[in-house]
């Protein structure tokens, strides 16, 4: 079985932004998961954790998984 992720990380990848994490948070809320886009105590920590999870999926957690360019 072939995976599509992680991918090589290009230098200065303009696609990976805080907006990406917000978009994914909105999709989760649409599917009736707790909202991360309305201010609450812990909102920042949840969004940061989501952004880190996305980074890990997209680029990997090890240099051997995604290439540093």
Between CA 53 and CA 58, with CA 27 as vertex, the angle to 5 degrees is 30
**In which residue ranges of the chain is pLDDT below 50?**
65-69
* Residue 12, both tokens: 């200065």
pTM score, whole prediction: 0.81
Query: What integer best gives the mean pLDDT of the chain?
Result: 89
Q: What pLDDT was estimated at residue 36?
A: 93
Q: Is the dihedral of CA 7, 5, 20, 40 positive or negative?
A: negative
- For residue 10, CA distances in Å to 1, 18, 33 come to 25, 17, 32
Per-residue pLDDT tens over the stretch 3-15: 999 999 888 889 9
């Amino acid at each position: 079985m072939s995976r599509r992720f992680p991918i090589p990380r290009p230098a200065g990848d303009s696609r990976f932004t805080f907006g990406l994490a917000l978009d994914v948070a909105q999709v989760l809320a649409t599917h009736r998961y707790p909202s991360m886009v309305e201010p609450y105590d812990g909102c920042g920590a949840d969004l940061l954790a989501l952004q880190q999870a996305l980074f890990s999926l997209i680029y990997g957690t090890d240099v051997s998984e995604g290439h540093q360019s």
